[in-house]
Structure 1
Amino acid sequence: MKAFLIAGEPSGDRLGGALIAGLRELDPGLEIAGIGGEAMAAQGLSSLFPMSELSLMGIWEILPRYRALKRRIAQAAQAVVAAAPDVLITIDSPDFGLRVARLVRAAAPGIRTVHYVAPSVWAWRPGRAAKMAEVVDHVLAILPFEPPLMHTAGMSCDFVGHPVVAEPVATPAEAAAFRARHGIAPEAPLVLCLPGSRQGEVARLAPRFDEALIRLRDRVPELRVVLPTVPGVSAMVGQMVRRWPTAPVVVQDSADKRAAFAAADLALAASGTVSLELAANQVPMVIGYDMAPMTRALLGMLLKTDTVTLVNLVTDTRAVPEFLGRRCRPELMAPALLQLLDDPEARDEQLAAMELTMNLLGRGGEPPGLRAARSVIKAVRAPR
C-alpha cells in the first residue's frame, strides 16, 4: 500500500508516527510520503517541507501567514496527486489537511481519504462534520463518543483508542533520579508549567502562568517548577525564562520529560492533549487557556459545551478546574493550584476521573497506532 500522510503539529506527528509503525507491521511493503515531524521521520518519512510552518492556531494567528499557507496547501495537494497513493491520511490540523483533501478530491477523486482525529463537533460548529464528509471517506476517532456523530454526517468511523494510553510512563526510580539530577528535594512540591506547543500560545500564556506560580510560591516557598517544552518553541521558552524571577528547570529530551511528569505533584497546563498525558501520569492539574481577542469572541459565540478539558469531557465530570478566556488570570489560577496541594478530597476526585479516562480511552487493549492501521486498511479495501 502507498500512503500520503499530513500532520501539522507535534501531537499529530506522534499520532502519525504510531500509525506508520502500525501500517508497517500489517503491510511490510508500505510506501509513505507526506508532511510530518520527528516522530514520523523516525518511521522513515521525508517531509515535503518543515511541519513547523503549519503549527498555528486561531483565525487571527493564521491571517498574517495566509498567503504562505495557501501556497503550501497547493504544493501539498500537487504532491499527493503526483504520488498517486492508495490513501491520503490527514492527521488533525483540519484547517490545512482538509483544504489539501478538497483539492485532491477535485483532481483525483479515486484517492481514498482518511482523517485521523474527528473534529470536535460536540464542542462547536457541528456543521463541520457534514462539510468534511464531502472530501473524507473514513474517520479515525480517538474519543469513544465520536463515531455516531461521524456516521450521522455520512462518513464511516472507528474508535481506535487514544495514543496516550500506549505512551511509556517513567518509573518511580526514574522520577526520583530526575529530582536528584536537577537538585529537587524528594519532599519539595513539584509543579509542571505547560504553556503550550505553539509560539502564539506560549507568548500569551507563559507570563500569566508564571505570575500564577509566583503567587503559589509566595504561599509554598519550597515549591519547584519544571517547564517541559518542544523544539518549535524551545528557543522562545529559553528567552522567556531568563526574564523570570525564579527560572524553572527547562527540559526538552523526551525521557527527561517523562521523568518530570512522573515526578510532579501538580501541573498548570494549556488546554489540549497534554491534559491526557497528565492524566496518564496521575498528575492533578489546573487548565488555563486564552486566544487572540477576536478569536476568543468568535469561539465564545460558537461553543456548545461548558468545558474543553478532555478528562472532564470523557468522564462527564468537572473534576479539572479550567480558567478560559478572560478568566485565564493568575489571581484565579493560583488559588485553584493551592487547593490541589492542600485539599486531599479535590486531589482524589481528579485522580479518580483520570483513572476512568484512561480506561475509557482504551488502556489495556491493542495499541492505538495498530488499531488505527487496521482501520485504515479496512477503509482502503472497502467498496465505494
Structure 2
Amino acid sequence: MRVFVVAGEPSGDRLGGALMEGLRTLAPEVEFHGVGGPLMEAQGLDSLFPMSELSVMGLVEVLPKFFHLKRRIAETAQAVLDTKPDVLITIDSPDFSLRVAKLVKAQSSIRTVHYVAPSVWAWRPGRADKMAKVIDHVLALLPFEPPYMERAGMECDFVGHPVVGEPVATHQDIQAFREAHGLGQAPLVLALPGSRRGEVDRLAPVFGEALRLYLESRPNARVVVPAVAHMVDAVTEHVRDWPGSPVVVDPRNLPSDQAQVQKRAAFAAADLALAASGTVSLELAAQATPMVIAYNLNWLTTLIAKRMVNLDTVTLVNLVSDTRAVPECLLDDCEPVKIAAALSDVATNPATQQNAMDLTMDRLGRGGEAPGLRAARAVLNRLPDHHA
C-alpha cells in the first residue's frame, strides 16, 4: 500500500509521525512518500523538499515567498499524481494542503484525507463546504467536530487529541524544575503570552500589568514564563520589568525530549496560569493547572472577529467540557484590572476547574488507544478493500 503524506509545520510533523507509526503497525507493507519533518522522516519518509520551507506564518511573511510556495504546491501535486498512492493524507496547514488536494482531484480520483478539521464551528462555516469539493475524509482532533464536516458532505472520524498521549509531570520532575530555577516552595504563577511575535508584543505588556495588580497581595509568589525557542529573547526583554522575579524557561540548549519534560514540569508546578488563547489550554488541563485565558487582536482584526465569531467562548477546555469553567478576558475585556480580578477568583477556588479539565481530557481520548493509531485505523477502515 502506498501513502502520500504532507505536513507543513512542526505540529503537523508530530501528528504525521504518530499516524505513520500507526499505519506501519496496522499495515506493515505500507510505503510512504511526501513532505514532512524529522519525526515523519524517522518513520521512513524521504521528504520531497525540506518541510521548513512551508512553515510560514502570516500574510506579511507569505507574500515574499508566494511564487516559491506556488511552485511547491504544483510540484507536490505532480508528485502525488506520479506516485498514484492509495490515499493522499494532508495534515493541517490548510492554505498549502487544500491547494495540493485541489490540483490532485482535478486530474485524478485519488482518495484524499485531511488531518485536523478547520475551526468552522468558530467562524467561516463556508470553509467546510469549500473543503468538501477536494477532501473525502477528515480526521478530527475534537469530539464535537464530525457533525460539521459530515454536514458539508465529508466522512469524518474523531481520532483523539495528541495532548492525551503526553506524559504527566511527576513529583520528581516538579521538584527538579523548582530546584534548577531556584524557586524553592514559592507559589508559582505561569504566564504564557503566546508563541508568535505579534501576540507576544501585544499581550506581554497587558499580562505584566495584570500580574503586578494580582501579586500586590501575594509578595512571595514567583512568575514563570515558558518560551518557545524562537521567542526567548523577545520574551526575556518583555518580562524584564515584570513583578515576581520572572523565570524565563529557555528550551534552546536542551534536546527536544528534555525540553518537553521541562515544559510539562513548569506547567504542573504552577498553582495558576495566565495564558493566551489556543491549544495551550489543553496542555494546562493535561497537567491539571487552573487557568485564566486572555487575548486581544489589533483593532482591525478585532472588528472583523466580532462580526465573524459564532461562539460565546473560544477556550477549548470550555468547548470540549461544555462548561464555562475557565474565565476569559477577550478583546475589549483584555485589560489588566479584569484579568487580575479573574486570577484572584480562580486562585480563591481553583477546584472549580478541576471537573471541567478532567472531563476535557476524558472526552479527548485519555486512557484510550493512542491518537496516531486511532487515526491510522480510521484511514484504513474507510479505504476501499482495506480494514484495520
TM-score under structure 2 length normalisation: 0.87
Per mean C-alpha deviation after superposition, the further-off stretch among 21-30 and 310-319 is 21-30
Q: Note the residue ranges of structure 2 that are not aligned, 5 or more in a row.
A: 252-258
User: Is the CA contact 2:232–2:248 (under 8 Å) kept in the aligned structure 1?
Assistant: no
Aligned residues: 377
Which residue number corresponds to residue 332 of structure 1? 338
Match for residue 191 of structure 2?
193
Q: From the superposition, tell whether residues 211 and 15 of structure 1 become closer, same or farther in structure 2 (CA, over 3 Å).
A: farther
Q: Aligned partners of 1:340, 1:185: CA distance in 2, in Å?
A: 23
- Call closer, same or farther: CA 1:218–1:157 in 2, change over 3 Å: same
Residue aligned with 1:25, SS: helix
The yes-or-no answer on 1:322 pairing with 2:321 is: no
Q: How many angstroms apart in 1 are the aligned matches of 2:87 and 2:353?
A: 40
Quick check: 1:276 aligned with 2:282?
yes
- SS state at 1:114 partner: strand
1:302-317 equivalence runs, <5 A: 302-317=308-323
CA distance in 2 between counterparts of 1:78 and 1:235 reads 41
- Whether the 8 Å contact between 2:7 and 2:51 is mirrored in structure 1 is no
Give the aligned residue type for 2:284: L
TM-fit CA distance, 1:156: 0.9
Counterpart residue identity of residue 85, structure 1: P
CA distance in 1, matches of 2:283, 2:158: 19
Q: Given the superposition, is the C-alpha separation of residues 66 and 320 from structure 1 closer, same or farther in structure 2, using an over 3 Å criterion?
A: farther
Per-residue deviation at 1:248? Answer: 2.2
1:291 paired to 2:272:
no
Change (3 A) 1:198 1:86: farther
Kindly provide the CA deviation profile for residues 293-328 of structure 1, in whole angstroms up to 9, marking residues without a partner as x: 333322221111111111111122111111222322
For 1:261, give the aligned amino acid. F
1:33-48 to 2 correspondences below 5 Å: 33-47=33-47, 48=49
CA contact (8 A) 2:282 2:316 kept: yes
Counterparts in 2 of 1:265 and 1:44: CA distance versus 1, 3 Å: farther
C-alpha displacement of 1:263: 1.2
Give the deviation of 1:257 after TM superposition: 0.9
Of 262, 265, 270 in structure 1, the residue corresponding to residue 271 of structure 2 is: 265
Deviation at 1:243, TM superposition (A): 6.9
Partner of 1:119: 118
| Deviation at residue 66 of structure 1 after TM alignment | 4.5
> What is the alpha-carbon distance in structure 2 between the residues aligned to residue 46 and residue 96 of structure 1?
19
How far 1:282 sits from its partner (Å)? 0.6
3-state DSSP of counterpart to 2:225: strand
Counterpart selection for 1:379 from 373, 377, 382: 382
Is residue 2:154 matched to residue 1:169?
A: no
Contact 1:54 1:69 survives alignment (8 Å): no
- Shift in Å at residue 87 of structure 1? 2.0
The Cα shift of 1:41 comes to 4.3
Report deviation, 1:354: 0.5
1:142, 1:241 → 2: CA distance? 34
Q: What is the CA–CA distance in structure 2 between the aligned matches of 1:283 and 1:41, rounded to whole Å?
A: 34
Identity of aligned residues (%): 60
1:349 to 344, 348, 352: 352
Q: Partner residue of 1:102?
A: 102
- CA RMSD of superposed structures (Å): 2.6
Using structure 1 for the length normalisation, give the TM-score: 0.88
CA distance in 1, matches of 2:312, 2:64: 30
Q: 1:211 matched to which residue of 2?
A: 209
SS of 2:167's partner is coil
Distance in structure 2 (CA, Å) of the matches to 1:37 and 1:367: 21
Residue 12 of structure 1 deviates from its aligned partner by 2.8
The alpha carbon displacement at 1:133 in A equals 0.6
Cα distance in 2 for residues equivalent to 1:14 and 1:210: 32
2:221 aligned with 1:223: yes
Q: Per-residue displacement from partner, 1:199-221 (whole Å, max 9, x unpaired)?
A: 33333333332333333333322
- Alpha-carbon offset, residue 94 of structure 1: 1.8
Letter of the structure 1 residue corresponding to residue 311 of structure 2: T
1:281–1:34: structure 2 CA closer, same or farther, 3 Å change rule? same
**Equivalent residue, structure 2, for 1:25:** 25
SS of the residue corresponding to residue 220 of structure 1 reads coil
Partner of 1:150: 149
Aligned-pair CA distance for 1:136: 0.3
CA–CA distance in 2 between the matches of 1:41 and 1:294? 41
- Greater shift, 76-85 or 370-379, is seen at 76-85
Question: What residue number does 2:255 align with?
Answer: none
Instruction: Specify every segment of 5 or more residues in structure 1 that has no aligned partner in the other structure, as ranges.
Output: none
Deviation at 1:98, TM superposition (A): 1.2
What residue number does 1:7 align with?
Answer: 7
Q: Is the 8 A contact 1:60 1:295 kept in 2?
A: no
Deviation at 1:4, TM superposition (A): 2.8
Report if the CA contact (8 A) 2:9-2:54 is conserved.
Answer: no
User: Residues 38 and 204 (structure 1 numbering): CA distance in 2 closer, same or farther, change over 3 Å?
Assistant: farther
Matched, 1:56 2:57: yes
Q: Which amino acid aligns with 1:330?
A: P
1:325 to 1:53, Cα distance in 2 relative to 1, 3 A: farther
What's the secondary structure of 2:223's corresponding residue? strand
Q: Which amino acid aligns with 2:291?
A: M
2-side partners of 1:331 and 1:79: how far apart? Answer: 55
Out of 206-215 and 347-356, give the one that drifted further. 206-215
